[in-house]
């Protein structure tokens, strides 16, 4: 079994930090948005895109329950 050096070796859809920064830098509108962020926001974005961290999500059972239950109750 080959030794995995980077997460990208296992998940090829992930980008390396350098590749993301290069892409952002090549697109003026992305560069402007990225540079408006605080350094900790930039770091979090890069960590999510590279697979270092996951995306924080909030699930509201009441909200989803309302959407799911409405069509069933109407029928």
Cα-Cα end-to-end distance for the chain: 55
pTM of this structure: 0.62
d(CA 38, CA 25): 17
Torsion, Cα of 21, 25, 30, 31 (10° steps):
100
> For 5-56, how does the pLDDT look when each residue is reduced to its tens digit (9 = 90+)?
777 777 777 788 999 999 999 999 999 999 999 999 999 999 988 888 877 7
**pLDDT for the residue 26:** 97
CB count in 10 Å sphere of residue 22: 11
3-state SS class at 48: helix
């Amino acid at each position: 079994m080959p030794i995995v050096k980077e997460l990208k070796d296992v998940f090829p859809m992930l980008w390396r930090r350098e590749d993301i920064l290069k892409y952002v830098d090549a697109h003026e509108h992305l560069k402007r948005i990225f540079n408006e962020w605080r350094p900790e926001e930039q770091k979090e974005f890069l960590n999510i895109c590279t697979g270092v961290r996951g995306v924080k999500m909030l699930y509201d059972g009441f909200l989803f329950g309302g959407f799911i239950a409405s069509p069933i109750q109407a029928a």
